[in-house]
Structure 1
Amino acid sequence: MIATTKHSLKKLEQLLEELGYTVRYEKGNFTSGYCLVEQRRIAIVNRFYDTEGRINVLLEIVGQYDAAPEGVELTPKSEKLFRKIRREVSRSAAEEE
């Protein structure tokens, strides 16, 4: 399980940046998640979410990847975090079945 700390949030933001996303925190009445804007990957998160809510949204985005996209080089720390998230997503999927 990923700890719900600001440090963990920063590590997730770094991982998403390495995956080609721009993470933005905006206010408004919208569902958090991500969108593609003019072929760019932008994760837009409600700025009023607490740290745990922000982490959950970013985990949902990262969890959609089975592997890092071709041509993407992750740093060793980000690669380790990515593998940890993939294991948790796989475990959750297995429990749902």
Structure 2
Amino acid sequence: MNIKVTPNNLNKLEKIFDDAKYVLRFEKGSFTSGYCILEHKKVVVINKFLNLEGRINTLVDILTTLPLDEDLLTAESHKLYKQIINSKPVPNAEEGEISTGTEEAE
């Protein structure tokens, strides 16, 4: 999903985590992927040295893999969350590749 890189959109993504009762922290650390998730404690730690675009892309990546209770989200957060989830690439079972669903059948 292409989200414009703006501080407002970063705030919207952060609100999704807040609504879902996750603690989002920006800390210094040696994260190979730029973030660390402590699922049992509902804590997500993001590398504080990432720029705005890196933070947004990282939060979107996390949202596509993290199971959230959608009932806790506000209407605005739920709408954005659904857009992110529906745009995530789907793995192709036959070839092991990632497909975005826009390819034509041969």
Q: TM-score, normalised by structure 1?
A: 0.80
SS in 1 for 2:11: helix
Cα deviation 1:41-95 (Å, max 9, x = unaligned): 11111111001111111111111257x427x421110011011101211xx2268
Change (3 A) 1:45 1:88: same
Cα deviation 1:5-58 (Å, max 9, x = unaligned): 111110000001112211111113223223217x31111111110011111111
Aligned to 1:48: 49
CA distance in 2, matches of 1:33, 1:69: 21
SS in 2 for 1:23: strand
Q: Percent identity?
A: 33
Aligned to 2:37: 35
User: What RMSD over aligned residues (CA atoms) do the two structures have, in Å?
Assistant: 2.2
- The structure whose residues are more often helix, as a share, is 1
How many residues of Structure 1 are paired with residues of Structure 2 in the alignment? 92
